Amino acid sequence: MAIHLFRDTFKKRGPLFLLVLGFALGIISSYVAAILYDRLTQPKLVVFAGAGRDQGGGVGGEPLHEFYHLIVRNESAHWPVSGRKPAWDCAASIEVVDKRGQRVLPEAINGRWASQPQPIMPVSTSAPGTGAIDFGRLVLARKINVHSHDDQSLSVALKYEGSPDCYLFSNESYLFDGWQNPSWNLGPGSHRLRITLHYERPAKPLYFWLHNTGLGRGDLRLEAEQ
Residues 57 and 83 in one domain: yes
Residues 161 and 189 in one domain: yes
Instruction: Give the chain's domain count.
Output: 2
Residues 126 and 162 in one domain: yes
Residues 85 and 178 in one domain: yes
Cα 44 to Cα 74, 112, 172, 189, 197, distances in angstroms: 5, 20, 28, 32, 11
pLDDT tens per residue across all 226 residues of the chain: 556 555 555 566 656 666 666 666 666 656 555 555 456 668 889 999 976 567 887 666 788 999 999 999 998 777 766 678 899 999 999 999 999 999 999 899 999 999 998 998 876 555 545 568 888 888 888 999 999 888 999 999 999 999 999 999 999 999 999 999 999 999 999 999 999 999 988 788 999 999 999 999 999 999 999 8
Residues 132 and 194 in one domain: yes
Residues 111 and 20 in one domain: no
Residues 164 and 201 in one domain: yes
Range of the domain at 18: 1-40
Residues 84 and 169 in one domain: yes
Residues 163 and 203 in one domain: yes
Write the DSSP string, 124-145.
-TTSTT-EEE-HHHHHHTT-EE
